[in-house]
Amino acid sequence: MMFGTASALAACNGGDRLGELQTKPIAALMSRAYYGGMCEGVASADEQIEDIRAMKIHTSAGDCRVLYLDGVDRAGELLIYAEKPGDRLACVGLLQRLKEKNASAAVSAKAAERCS
């Protein structure tokens, strides 16, 4: 019994994609969106995630990211899962999609700033 439990726990940490996210609940939720298929073509592009409101976006290089629609972090930056330093948003149509999805004012303002 203990071996089975240890094996299950090990699977959640080692090479598992979700293992690094236990420290930040919003990151864990966004990871579920990202790894749950939103960026892998399993879910629709505009699917709303059960626990959070998020949508699929792209970088200017065409890489998929997941944007949280309800707020920014403490530094005032967009909460974008899987964002890497230097990523530039693909801005064409983004502001309109944020409006349609009723994104928070903070998210819309920061996106407008990054897309100007």
> Which pLDDT tens digit goes with each residue over 41-91?
765 545 556 677 899 999 999 999 999 999 998 889 999 999 999 999 999
Q: How far apart are the first and last CA of the chain?
A: 57
Looking at the predicted structure, is the pLDDT value of residue 113 above 80?
A: yes
d(CA 95, CA 61): 18
User: What value does the mean pLDDT take over residues 92-98?
Assistant: 97
CB 95, CB 81: distance < 8 Å: no
pLDDT value at position 43?
Answer: 54
* Residue 20 pLDDT: 47
Phi-psi region of 16 (alpha: psi -120 to 50; beta: other; left: phi over 0): beta
What is the pLDDT at residue 60?
A: 96
pTM of the model: 0.72
CB 53 within 8 A of CB 47: no
Q: Cα dihedral angle (47, 50, 51, 57), rounded to 10 degrees?
A: -10
